[in-house]
Amino acid sequence: MDGIVAVTIDFWNTLVDETGAPERRAERRDALVEALAAVGRTVDEAQFDAAQQATLTYFQHHWLGQRRTPHARELVGVMLAELGAELPDESLDRVAHVFAQGVLSHPPRLLPGAREALAELADRARLAIISDTAFSPGAVLRALLEREGVAGHFTSFVFSDETGVAKPEPAAFARALDALGAEPGRAVHVGDLERTDIVGARGAGMRSILFRAREHLHALAEEETEADAVVAGWHEVAPAVEALLGRG
């Protein structure tokens, strides 16, 4: 690959799926309910759902509007505020830890073909993760990739909770390119969201590939795209990167 020497990759719904999400939700709910019960507060399922929805609204306001991703402790605090409840700091920290560690106790799966594609790409280019985080911080996501045996393919990991900026902020992409020693014009980003991955990559001067595996589309996916290529799965990523080289 003479034209592009760096490939940056999104995490959620690009590299991994959402397997384990119901179990993670139940584990987090139980941790919060138990902590509140210890201070004499009862929370039913409907109240928890309302608090979780308020947290999602809060998260999206900061993520999409301010290009910052709140961390687990902050988000648990939002849930507590919605419930009109308080927890001692030590208890709040324990609950936030459960929320943060959920992807390790109930892990998502690598999407089909990702393991093989990463090995192929790593032989030809420098790779980095650029991921916005929520309840699961970068340290935990990095640990998950190490457990899966694919972390070694990446030269750099750029997680929004560690950098303080979220996609599409150009600084998120610049951080990865600096670590990879690559110029924007010689790099391509692979991600599933137009408004963060594709807009962000283009704003940073990079090429972009929209990952649009139909079985993993979600509410934030858009039909229109300004990506340089669109792929339906990991089996198409390396060929798409190769094809983009001819335009360099």
Reported in sequence order, the residue ranges of the chain that DSSP labels E, i.e. its strands, are 6-9, 126-131, 154-159, 187-191, 207-211, 229-231
User: What pLDDT is stored for residue 248 in this prediction?
Assistant: 45
CA nearest to 119, candidates 148, 157, 150: 150
Q: 67 pLDDT band (50/70/90 cuts)?
A: very high
pLDDT 10s digits, 187-207: 999 999 999 999 999 999 999
The tokens for 66 are 């301010």
Q: What is the pLDDT of residues 81-98, one digit of tens each?
A: 999 999 999 999 999 999
User: 193 versus 224: which is more confidently predicted?
Assistant: 193
**pLDDT exceeds 50 at position 221:** yes
Mean predicted lDDT score pLDDT of the chain:
92
- CA gap 68, 127 in Å, rounded: 23
Per-residue pLDDT reduced to its tens digit, 114-123: 999 999 999 9
pTM of model > 0.85: yes
Q: Which residues contact 63 (CB under 8 A, 6 or more apart)?
A: 69, 70, 132, 134, 166
- The residues, any chain, with a CB within 8 Å of residue 216's CB and separated by 6 or more, are 13, 17, 18, 111, 192
Confidence of residue 224 (pLDDT cuts 50, 70, 90): confident
